[in-house]
Amino acid sequence: MAKSAAFFDLDKTLLAKSSTLAYAKPLFDNGLLARADVLRSAYGQFVYLLAGANASQMDQARDYMSDLVAGWDVALVSSIVNDALGTVIEPIIYAEALTLFDEHHAAGRDVVVISSSGTEVIEPICELLGADIAIGTQVAIEDGKYTGEILFYAYGDAKADAMRALAEDNGYDLAECYAYSDSITDLPMLEAVGHPFATNPDKELRQIAAERVWPVLDFRKPVAMKEKSQHARTRAAAGAASAAGAAALGMAWYARQRLRRH
């Protein structure tokens, strides 16, 4: 019998802010960002919260990230991301998103997070949230450092391609799958499944959702510590931790599989 999955964007869908921009301060504190980069990140976060990101801004973000991370030590970045989870990410998780995670797991669906943020950023976040599979932007690594070459950019049509490849390999029936995103740039992702949800949508996506009679979700409540604890207990009781391990959480699954094949 065909399986199904729930695909989630990360920023402004599961989190109230951009995950990458949220790490500006700890990256600065560890010497990886200059003050000008922190100011640019703060401004980018402000604009992103007001209006989201369009295609041009996403292209600019890709080029900026490529130049910025070249030469960074991968182990150091991973350490910073993990150490700052409690202060940077936990306060901006939407409680409503965790409820959806639990509902989809209870229905027997895999939960997949697919984000344009880098894999070293999203994988610890996905483990914290209880996702089964994490797919993110992959930057080439040589001798333990980023080269700046982007091997896979999880954005636009590439997200939908990743979902179709994952469905083929895991036996998902996309007509029975769910997808959640806030951005018009993720329209291909939403169109790839039978149950699309515009989640905290920007103006353009909200308009399309109204035209196509797609459900619209507006999340307002960053999760509290008590709710996170309840979510963790629910996941543990369902045996979700072992399921996440079996699904190879922590791997940029699509990027690595597709790169090996091509």
Residue numbers annotated as active site: 9, 11
CB 253 within 8 A of CB 134: yes
Number of neighbours of residue 142 by Cβ within 10 angstroms? 9
158-163: Cβ within 8 A, 24+ apart? 159/114, 159/186, 159/188, 159/189, 160/188, 160/189, 160/191, 160/192, 162/114, 162/135, 162/254, 162/258, 163/7, 163/112, 163/114, 163/189, 163/192, 163/193
Spatial separation of the C-alpha atoms in residues 14 and 20, rounded to whole Å: 13
Q: Is 239 helix (H, G, I), strand (E, B) or coil?
A: coil
Amino acid at 172: Y
The position carrying tokens 């669906």 is 109
Q: Which of 145, 131, 166, 186 is nearest to 253 (CA)?
A: 166
- Count, residues in the chain: 262
Spatial separation of the C-alpha atoms in residues 115 and 95, rounded to whole Å: 19
Spatial separation of the C-alpha atoms in residues 126 and 211, rounded to whole Å: 32
- Beta strand ranges found along 158-205 (DSSP E): 178-181, 195-199
